[in-house]
Amino acid sequence: MSELAAHRVGRQRGRPPGRTNTRQDVLDAARRVFADRGYQHASLRAIAAEAGVDAGMVRHFFGDKAGLFRAAMELPVDPATILPVLLGPGLDGLGERVVRFFVSVWDDPVARGPFLSLIRSVAGHEESATMFRQFITEQMLGPLAAAIGRPNARLRATLVGSQLVGLAMVRYVVKVEPLASASADQVVAAVAPTIQRYLTGDVSDLSPPAADSAATG
């Protein structure tokens, strides 16, 4: 997995007087705007205005909105970079690759810190939950669903996400044994088949039955 590891990577409006760290000003402004508007409705132009800089400066520092969000939230991985690597060999074995990479990131104390902070924030703050859900939907679940190319693809991608978030909570946040102290290989062996089934196995549609829909309509 060395190729994957290589990819790890106030309320006052406007720039406060006397501040000269433009990059930090943009990050501070981004956190405010993302919290106020959510990921989907925050724009680079709005964040630039909040920071008191030109939108081109924001792009110079962070590239695009996803890059700015990752920097503002201090996320150690870039979904746009990781997903093509995971998906490259095809759907066969994708469950194992996903779980092994996920565990490799979370087992790294340096990479784990920002994720722990984010999960704790999301669990107790509705605006943070909305912001993160929108980011995950646009940057991870949508592209994964498109790559699956099977019936119920969006549901499959969401089930994968739910399994991984649950794994993170139980193994790294709550630290329930024996999962908390299991080796990476043990976790992969236990969880990867479930992820693979979500990706390529039999997954029933969760849409309400037609009769129920008619009755409630």
Cα–Cα distance for residue pair 144/10, rounded to 1 Å:
37
CA angle 48/51/56 to nearest 5° reads 30
Which residues have C-beta within 8 Å of that of residue 21, sequence separation ≥ 6? Answer: none
Give all domains of the chain, ordered by start, each with its CATH number: 2-73 (1.10.10.60), 79-202 (1.10.357.10)
Q: Is residue 18 exposed (0-12), middle (13-18) or buried (19+ Cβ within 10 Å)?
A: exposed
Q: pTM of this prediction?
A: 0.68
Query: Would you call the peptide bond into 109 cis, given omega within 30 degrees of 0 as the criterion?
Result: no
| Mean pLDDT value across residues 64-73 | 83
Other C-beta atoms lying within 10 Å of the C-beta of residue 101:
20
| Tens digit of each residue's pLDDT (9 = 90 or more) over 90-131 | 999 999 999 999 999 899 888 787 777 777 766 666 766 777
Q: Name the residue with tokens 């669990």.
A: 123
Alpha helices in the chain (DSSP H): 2-5, 22-41, 44-51, 55-62, 65-73, 79-87, 94-106, 109-124, 126-136, 142-148, 153-168, 184-200, 210-216
The string of pLDDT tens digits covering residues 23-59 is: 889 988 888 887 777 777 888 999 999 999 999 999 9
Q: What is the pLDDT of residues 173-205, one digit of tens each?
A: 889 999 999 999 999 999 999 999 999 998 877
pLDDT for residue 109: 85
Question: Nearest Cα to 169, choosing from 158, 180, 156, 160?
Answer: 180
Q: pLDDT tens digits, residue range 123-169?
A: 666 766 777 777 788 888 889 999 998 899 999 999 999 999 899 88
